[in-house]
Amino acid sequence: MTILKHLFSPIQIGRMTAKNRLLMSAMSINFGVDENGYVTDQLTGYLAARARGGTGMILVGGGGVHPTGLELPGLPALWDDGCIPALKKMVEAVKPFDTCFGVQLMHGGRQSYHDRKVAPSPIPAPAVVKGIPKELTVEEIAELVASFGDATRRCRDAGFDFVEVHGAHGYLINQFLSPNSNYREDQYGGSFENRTRFFLELLADIKAKAGADFPVGLRINGEDYIDGGWTLNDALRLAPILEKNGADYLHVSAGVYGSKQLTIPSMYVEHGCFVHLAEAVKQVVTIPVVGVGRIKSPELADRILKEGRADVVAMGRALIADPMLPEKARAGNLKCGSRVFDGRR
């Protein structure tokens, strides 16, 4: 029996039961799609290898819900039904490994690498991506709301177990939420209630189109770590509202492009650097909360769960480096992985 009993215990998320509490974060790996943006055997094989390695939950990274929101050109496109056959093939490749398989849905907003950027307000990203985005009209906002529900329905029809909506890291949803990126004076800007309206409307559209029982996780920022941005107090206010409106789990991260803390933390940042944000959110909701941020070893993951700081832990780079990391750890091989995961770097 594994000594990591917390990490390798099952968890119920909505109607879905995951065999363990390890989530492979959605990552924009920028390969494995064809000229239409449909997933290929290359991406399928990459994800199936991580499923074979024992990860309890896996997310396909950066699925674009609308052409204006494709963050990078090498990411899956989910805005027409033509994507479904390739997604079904991917699901069938992963299914034998008893992994809960999902897709992260996102719209990059002003943080998209193309010249058709849109955002709540015509304010450029504070770093990395150049260009002033077009301010969305109310009619265009309604179109984007519908695009999240339509993309979720496609993922459900392809056989995925769940979706995660990316509302963090300075992408479109976060741009609506944060005062420093939303200067609107209509029903989508100004007050907290108005700035959260877009998020709640798209969640309602998802539930209407995919079914109230289809599991939907939401990734949110606990902190933007930038002047005038979203704060932990905001997150603590929003989290119970998201739960009330049908969220099945909350994945709590941090940072935006140009923030004081990187969304992909560097090797100089402490391990578990965002877990305190998940821990705080966990106090105000009853649904599962995912902790993330340089969680490099199974031992650290198990300790976070044991201490009640999160219900699920997310790993990214550790699973890129060693797809078999979970199975090795479950079998008691705690020296799995390279030295970069042993806490000395």
Confidence check: pLDDT of 224 > 70? yes
Q: What's the CA gap between 57 and 273, in Å, rounded?
A: 21
Q: What pLDDT does 264 receive?
A: 76
Instruction: Give 96's contacts (C-beta < 8 A, 6+ positions apart).
Output: none
The answer for 340, left when phi > 0, alpha when psi is -120 to 50, beta otherwise, is alpha
pLDDT in tens, 243-285: 999 999 999 999 999 888 878 777 778 887 899 999 999 999 9
Q: What pLDDT does 168 receive?
A: 97
Two structure tokens written together for 212: 């109230």
Out of 38, 46, 113, 171, the active site residue is 171
For the ranges 44-58, 75-89, 331-345, which has the lowest average pLDDT?
331-345
Average pLDDT over residues 333-340: 58
Q: What's the CA gap between 242 and 345, in Å, rounded?
A: 37
Q: What pLDDT does 2 receive?
A: 61
Q: What's the CA gap between 294 and 184, in Å, rounded?
A: 35
Res. 170 pLDDT band, cuts 50 70 90: very high
The fraction of the chain above a pLDDT of 90, given in percent, is: 87
pLDDT in tens, 12-41: 999 999 999 999 999 988 899 999 999 999
- Going along the chain from its start, the domains and CATH numbers come out as 11-341 (3.20.20.70)
* Paired sense of beta strands 216-223 and 162-167, if any: parallel
Is position 257 annotated as part of the catalytic site? Answer: no
With beta carbons less than 8 A apart as the criterion, state whether 292 and 314 touch. Answer: yes
Two structure tokens written together for 246: 């049908």
Average pLDDT over residues 287-316: 96
Average pLDDT over residues 201-228: 97
Res. 338 pLDDT band, cuts 50 70 90: very low
